[in-house]
Structures are given as C-alpha cells and as structure tokens.
C-alpha cells in the first residue's frame, strides 16, 4: 500500500494547536466586528483574471500562482490573497459604501517552503471600500495594532510610507530606473532583473552589494504630489492622536502593484530576518476600477496567522488553550456507567471523556491523567451498588465519595463553577 504525507509547504494543524488557530480568528473577529466590519467569505478559487490584477510584475503573479484549467475549460486559480476577491465581490454586488469587511482563511502561493513561509498559509484581514478619508487609514492601522495587543504581543513595530498617487508612483519609478540604470554595474544580477520588471522592488533587495546604491537612491517623499503629501501628513496626525507609534520608512514599497498612497507593514522584532513581516497593507485606490467597477478608493491589511503565531511563541504569549475536558470518568464496571455519566455531564455543559474497551483501572487512570481533566470520577461495582461515585481532584489527588444523584452539583463545586 502506498503511504502519503502532506505536500511540501502544507501542514496538518493538530490539537491543541488547532484550537489556538480558532481562538486567533475569534479574537480578530471580536476586534473588527466591534469596529463595524462584516464577515465576508470569498471562494477559495476564482477566475485567474481576478488575481492577475494584483500586478503583472509581482512575484505572486509571475511565480507563485496556483492556476489551472478546470474540467470545464475555465482558467482558474486558488486565491493567493483575498483583497482582489473582495474587490471583485464589490463590483459584483455593489454594496453601499463605506463597505467594511473582514475575512479569515487560507491562501495559496507556490513558494519555497521554509519556517514562516508555506504554500498554504492563513491570513486574517480587513478591507474598506469607498472612503478616501485619511482618518480611516489611521483607524484601520490602529485596528491591526489593537489586535496584536489583544494577542499579548508587545514587540510589533509599525512601518509607514506613502507611495503617492499613480502619477507620482510612475514618476518615482522612472527616477529610480534612471538612478539604478546609470549605476547598473554596481547592481546585483537579481536586482538587475527586478529593475526590468519593477524598479520599486529593487528597494526591497536585501543583498549587501545593493545597499549602497539603494541608500543613495531618490526618495519617494520627494515625488509626492501636494494632495498625496497632505493625505499622508493627515494619516500621521491621526495616528498620533490615536496613540499609535510608527516610523516612516520611505523605502517601504510592499509587494503588490496596486498600492497607492498609504502603505504599511507590521514587523515583529522578536522574529529573525527571513520572516519578520507579520502583516501589511495599504491603499489600493485603482483596484476596483481595474476589475471593471466604478472608481472607488480602498484600504486594507492582511495579517499572516502562521507567522504571527511564531511571533507569539517567540514572545511567550497566546499559548494553546487548555483542554475542554473537565472530567474524566473511570469505570471499572464495564463502561456503561461511564457512558451515562458522560452524557449527564455534557448535557449541562461540563466537558467529559472516558476510556473504552474495558481497559484496566491503571490504564484508565493513565488516560485520565493524559486528558488534562482537573477532575476524575471513579465508579466500581461497590459504588454502583451503593449509588455513589468517587470524585477525585487530579491536582493533589484528594478524593471523596459523593452520592450518585448529587454528582453534577459536586462536580460543579470541585470545578469551582
Ligand atoms: P513576503 O515579503 O514575506 O513574501 P508578502 O509581501 O508576499 O510577504 P503579503 O502578500 O503582504 O506578504 O501578505 C501579508 C502577510 O501574510 C505577510 O506579512 C506574511 O505574514 C503573510 N504571508 C505572506 N506569504 C506567506 C507565506 N507564503 N507563508 C506564510 N505567511 C505568509
Ligand atoms: Mg511574498
């Protein structure tokens, strides 16, 4: 028989870690729903064309897309991100603006798998369509920071930049092209290739040989139109008013072609070089129009769940939740008592588990230990005949006899509920 393991870049998330994932999404839902965001669940695959709008020069489109032809001859792709899907949904449903949505779920990118970088990875995120107000930019960014705070993270740094309007961005790109082209011999081979596709991305190069040229390159700040500059200043003023600490990094360009004006990145100072970015976002004022809709401004962010949990591990916060089993029932009479007691407890909301196959007392006590349940109920023939049970507190090991028809109340007391 062949045996199988998960494909490269994918993982099984097992308990108790899986409960941590669920809690992560719940905390996020809590933060954003109290800020007026509604949940959107876009499909996991759609027409490839939707995702091509992310940008012909991006890695997502050039290298990482999981696209294929389905049996009906449609060219589809597993979603590499969800912003494009949200914009497609906006054009399809034309909701009233401002349209504030949040999402959670897996994306797919054909990447080289490594710690913090997977082919199936989860994100949570928000998008707001239809509002240009810089106060919104600050609010969206502050929500991201608030979420990290709720997880218990304290070492998240916020980098902020403005890429200007599309005209500014184009002028800046050509200034960069001129700068790098006239020093082309000093540039790494990789950056030379990047320069062809997208001069802004050269600023992302982490190669030592490029550092000097990058440091001497023209600055985005000098290419902002007055309107974009004013917008950016107001975002900063609103962030300060909201008490959000940030630093302006005018080398921050971010991967996607559709960004305009405000861009930002959340960086964990507790992670090491390869994957310190735990989330990012920005304005994408051209994307809805690119997808065939009316000219509509948009802003949002996506936070990587996998990487954020690595940051939580590094900071020692937001651990896996405790087992939900409150009581383990050990039954030496054959098992039917355990079945009855478990049902009785579960019905009133007390988590209960048991052993099977008439295991020995010793084996059942071992299972009780492993279950993590703070309380154990033991029933033997004597107890069953006397209509009693033994209630044992696992920590400390004290135990006493309780009446069978008083069992639920006694368990509640032992659990402190
Ligand atoms: P990177 O530069 O690390 O490739 P990116 O710019 O491609 O990141 P975005 O598309 O902006 O990332 O996605 C936002 C967040 O999603 C990232 O900050 C990261 O935390 C997470 N993320 C992106 N790609 C992956 C991946 N392959 N595996 C795990 N997390 C990822
Ligand atoms: Mg990437």
Coil, strand or helix: which one is 6? coil
The 10 Å Cβ neighbour count of residue 14 is 7
Atom of ligand 1 nearest to the CA of 81: 10
What confidence score (pLDDT) does residue 285 get? 82
Q: Tell the residue nearest (CA) to atom 7 of ligand 1.
A: 255
C-alpha to C-alpha distance for 376 and 350, rounded to whole angstroms: 12
C-alpha to C-alpha distance for 110 and 112, rounded to whole angstroms: 7
Judging by DSSP bridges, how do beta strands 66-69 and 75-78 pair with one another?
antiparallel
Query: CATH fold of 327-415, please?
Result: Rossmann fold (3.40.50)
* Domain range summary for the chain, segments of one domain joined by +: 17-165+225-315, 327-415
Question: Residue with structure tokens 């006239």?
Answer: 182
What confidence score (pLDDT) does residue 259 get? 86
Name the superfamily (CATH) of residues 17-165+225-315: Bira Bifunctional Protein; Domain 2 (3.30.930.10)
Query: How many angstroms separate the alpha carbon of residue 267 from the centre of ligand 1?
Result: 11
Atom of ligand 1 nearest to the CA of 278: 20
Assess contact for 404 and 388: CB atoms under 8 A: yes
What confidence score (pLDDT) does residue 197 get? 83
The 10 Å Cβ neighbour count of residue 110 is 17
Assess contact for 28 and 124: CB atoms under 8 A: yes
Q: Tell the residue nearest (CA) to atom 29 of ligand 1.
A: 117
C-alpha to C-alpha distance for 329 and 352, rounded to whole angstroms: 7
Question: Residue with structure tokens 């027409």?
Answer: 47
Tell which one of 304, 308, 310, 314 to mutate to probe ligand 1, the residue whose CB is within 8 A of the most ligand atoms.
304
Query: How many angstroms separate the alpha carbon of residue 279 from the centre of ligand 1?
Result: 7
Q: What is the pLDDT along the chain (417 residues), one digit of tens a residue?
A: 889 999 999 999 999 999 999 999 999 999 999 999 999 999 999 999 999 988 877 888 889 999 999 999 999 999 999 999 999 999 999 999 999 999 999 999 999 999 899 999 999 999 999 999 999 999 999 999 999 999 999 999 999 999 998 889 889 999 999 999 998 998 999 899 889 888 888 988 888 899 999 999 999 999 999 999 999 999 999 999 999 999 999 889 876 777 899 999 999 999 986 789 999 999 998 899 999 999 999 999 999 999 999 999 999 999 998 889 999 999 999 999 999 999 999 999 999 999 999 999 999 999 999 999 999 999 999 999 999 999 999 999 999 999 999 999 999 999 999
What confidence score (pLDDT) does residue 43 get? 98
Question: Residue with structure tokens 């992302």?
Answer: 204
Closest CA to 264 of 155, 169, 161: 161
What confidence score (pLDDT) does residue 34 get? 98
Query: How many angstroms separate the alpha carbon of residue 77 from the centre of ligand 2?
Result: 17
Q: Please tell me if the CB atom of residue 304 comes closer than 6 angstroms to any atom of ligand 1.
A: yes
The 10 Å Cβ neighbour count of residue 106 is 15
Q: Please tell me if the CB atom of residue 180 comes closer than 6 angstroms to any atom of ligand 1.
A: no
């Amino acid at each position: 028989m062949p045996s199988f393991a998960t494909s490269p870049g994918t993982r099984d998330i097992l308990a108790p870690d899986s409960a941590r994932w669920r809690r992560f999404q719940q905390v996020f839902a809590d933060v954003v729903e109290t800020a007026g965001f509604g949940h959107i669940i876009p499909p996991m695959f759609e027409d490839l064309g939707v995702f091509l709008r992310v940008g012909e020069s991006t890695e997502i489109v050039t290298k990482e897309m999981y696209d294929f032809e389905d049996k009906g001859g449609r060219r589809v792709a597993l979603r590499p991100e969800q912003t494009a899907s949200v914009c497609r949904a906006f054009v399809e449903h034309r909701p009233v603006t401002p349209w504030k949505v949040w999402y959670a779920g897996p994306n797919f990118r054909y990447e080289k798998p490594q710690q913090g970088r997977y082919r199936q990875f989860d994100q949570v995120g928000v998008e707001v369509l239809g509002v240009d107000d810089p106060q919104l930019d600050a609010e969206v960014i502050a929500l991201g920071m608030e979420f990290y705070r709720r997880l218990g993270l304290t070492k998240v740094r916020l980098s902020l930049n403005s890429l200007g309007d599309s005209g500014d961005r184009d002028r800046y790109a050509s200034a960069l092209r001129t700068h790098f082209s006239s020093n082309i011999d000093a540039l790494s081979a990789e950056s030379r290739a990047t320069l062809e596709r997208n001069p802004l991305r050269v600023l992302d190069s982490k190669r030592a040989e490029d550092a000097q040229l990058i440091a001497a390159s023209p600055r985005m700040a000098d290419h902002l139109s007055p309107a974009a500059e004013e917008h950016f200043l107001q975002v900063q003023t609103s962030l300060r008013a909201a008490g959000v600490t940030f630093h302006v990094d005018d080398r921050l360009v971010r991967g996607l072609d559709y960004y305009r004006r405000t861009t930002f990145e959340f960086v964990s100072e507790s992670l090491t070089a390869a994957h310190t970015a735990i989330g990012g976002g920005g304005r994408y004022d051209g994307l809805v129009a690119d997808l065939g809709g009316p000219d509509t401004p948009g802003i949002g962010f996506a936070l990587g769940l996998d990487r954020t949990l690595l940051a939580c591990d590094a900071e020692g916060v937001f651990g896996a939740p405790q087992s939900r089993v409150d009581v383990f029932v050990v039954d030496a009479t054959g098992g039917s008592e355990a079945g009855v007691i478990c049902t009785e407890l579960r019905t009133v909301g007390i988590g209960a588990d048991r052993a099977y196959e008439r295991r020995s007392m010793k084996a059942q006590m071992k299972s009780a230990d492993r279950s993590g349940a703070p309380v154990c109920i033991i029933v033997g023939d004597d107890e069953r005949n006397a209509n009693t049970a033994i209630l044992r507190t696992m920590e400390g090991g004290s135990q006493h006899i309780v009446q069978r028809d008083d069992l639920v109340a006694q368990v509640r007391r032992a659990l402190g509920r």
